[in-house]
Amino acid sequence: MKYVSHNKLRPKAIILRTAGTNCDYETKYALEKAGASVDLMHINQLLNEKGLLDLYQILVLPGGFTYGDDIAAGKVLANQLRHHLLDELIRFVDNGKLVIGICNGFQVLVKMGLLPRIDGTQASLNGYKQEFTLTYNDSNKFEDRWVYLKSFSNKSVFIDKDSIFYVPIAHAEGKFMAEDEEKLKMLSKSGQIVFKYVDKDGNITNYPWNPNGSLDNIAGICDSTGRVLGMMPHPERHIEPTQHPRWTREGLKTEGDGIVVFRNAVNYISGIL
C-alpha cells in the first residue's frame, strides 16, 4: 500500500454514468469498501450543473459500452466530455485530484485527450491530436477471461511497482496502439506505462496472456502527473476473495486483488484532505 493516512475525512468519489454504462455499481462497492463516500451521477447532471465536479476528489469512468460504442469504443462519450467538460477535467487533475478510467473509461480518457499527456501539456480542444488509441483485439473476438497484470512503474499513485495481481477482462477493443514507435518510446521513458499483461510467473508473453495484442503488452497507462490512470482490466470485479474463479480449489485470500487500486486512491486523497 503506497499511501496511508489516519485522517477521518472520507474522500468523495463520483462515478460518471450514461447510456450503456454497466460497471457502476461494482465500482461503487469497491470505492466504499476502500473508505470513500460515493455518488453515481449521470453525465447530463454534470453537464447541466457547472462546478459540481469541484465537490469531489476522485472521478471514475467505469466500464461498459457507452452509447453502444457507436463509431468506436468510448468515442461518443469522449467527444461529449472533450467538447463540454475538458477545461473542468483538466482543472480537476491540476488541483491534485484523481481520475481513473476502467475498460470503456480507459478508451474514453485516451480518445478525449486526458491520457496520456506525456509532457504535461494541456489537452486543449483546438490543439488536440490523438496519438494513441485502443482498437480491435487481434483475436477478432470479444475476450472475456482472467489475466495477470504486473505494474512496471512507480509513477502512478494507484499502484506500487512490481505488484502482480489477477483480474478479469471483458472487451472487444482493448488493443493499445501508438501513432508511431517514437511515441511509444516516449511513453515508456516517462514511466507512464503502468500495467502490462504477464503470465502467472510475471513474464511478458503472447496470447492468451496478452489477450488483445496490445503493443508492448500494455494494459494500463497514467498521465504525466501519475494522478490519471486508465486500464483495460476490471479491478472492481475482484474485490472479494470469493470472486476469484478458483477459490474453492486454491483457498480464500484475505481480499480480492483489485481492491488495492481503490484503496491507494482513497488513502492518497485522505492524506491531503
Count the domains in the chain.
1
Q: Is 84 a catalytic residue?
A: no
Quick check: is 7 in a domain? Answer: no
Q: Is 238 a catalytic residue?
A: no
Q: Is 103 a catalytic residue?
A: yes
pLDDT at 128: 65
pLDDT at 53: 96
Q: Which of 26, 173, 222, 234 is catalytic?
A: 234
pLDDT at 129: 74
Cα angle at 132 between 139 and 75, to 5 degrees? 80
Q: Which of 26, 143, 236, 244 is catalytic?
A: 236
The C-alpha cell at 160 is 506500487
Quick check: is 6 in a domain? Answer: no
d(C-alpha 191, C-alpha 187), whole Å:
7
pLDDT in tens, 127-160: 567 889 999 999 999 999 999 999 999 999 999 9
d(C-alpha 248, C-alpha 161), whole Å:
29
Give buried/exposed letters for 242-252 (b at 16+ CB in 10 A, else e): ebbeeeeeeee
Q: Which of 103, 131, 173, 244 is catalytic?
A: 103
pLDDT at 50: 85
d(C-alpha 167, C-alpha 244), whole Å:
8
Task: Please report, for the domain that includes residue 84, its CATH number.
Answer: 3.40.50.880
pLDDT at 21: 97
Segments in the chain below pLDDT 70: 1-8, 120-128
Quick check: is 117 in a domain? Answer: yes
CB 42 within 8 A of CB 67: no
Quick check: is 5 in a domain? Answer: no
Structural domain that includes position 18: 12-270
Quick check: is 4 in a domain? Answer: no
Quick check: is 258 in a domain? Answer: yes
Quick check: is 42 in a domain? Answer: yes
Quick check: is 1 in a domain? Answer: no
